[in-house]
Amino acid sequence: MFRKMRRFKQLLSEEETRAVLEQGKTGVLAVSGDDGYPYAVPINYVYADGCIYFHSAKAGHKIDAIRADEKVSFCVIAEDRIVPEEVTTYFKSAIAFGRARILAGDEKYAAAMRLAGKYSSDYPEVVEEDMRKNFNSMEMVEIRIEHVTGKQAIELVRAAQAAQ
């Protein structure tokens, strides 16, 4: 169903791929947009329990697309270092494929608190106030990951092998 990575030597381990998802701050969500055009949008997210969670307004392109087709992909770039003298980039990234669903009730609240905890853990009183004001006007979305791969620049692979 999902393609194998062509450059398999650059494949990150499952543990390294999970670390990319856990440590990332911003990812790019891709959905099937209007008239068959892909729609990709950068979002803040949290990765927990093998799923990706993010918030959204109740209406808009992203939510409309998810309601129309639950299949999505999500990309996180953990490292992106330009090396001009080698005419290359040293990178680490992960791409997840899965199905998105809009959460409700206790699941929505728990996901919202996880997201807020990732970005605002030092400000619990601000989080609580924000939740009181905005909880009912937002959606929380969960991506259940069906397939994920991580990849890194071949130069990073070679450097790791040389260090062993």
**% of the chain beyond a pLDDT of 70:** 100
- Per-residue pLDDT, averaged over 106-127, amounts to 91
Alpha carbons within 13 angstroms on the beta-carbon side of residue 92 total: 14
Domains in the chain (CATH in brackets) are 8-163 (2.30.110.10)
Give the model's pLDDT for residue 35.
94
pLDDT in tens, 27-56: 999 999 999 999 999 999 999 999 999 999
Q: How far apart are CA 74 and CA 132, in angstroms?
A: 29
Q: What tokens does 10 get?
A: 């650059």
Give the model's pLDDT for residue 158.
86
N- to C-terminal Cα separation, the chain:
35
- Give the contacts of 131 (CB within 8 A, at least 6 positions apart): 109, 112, 113, 116
- Give the contacts of 42 (CB within 8 A, at least 6 positions apart): 26, 27, 28, 29
For residue 11, the 8-state DSSP code is B
**96 pLDDT above the threshold of 80:** yes
pLDDT in tens, 119-156: 988 888 888 888 889 899 999 999 999 999 999 988 88
Q: How far apart are CA 60 and CA 7, in angstroms?
A: 37
Give the model's pLDDT for residue 17.
96
- Give the contacts of 36 (CB within 8 A, at least 6 positions apart): none
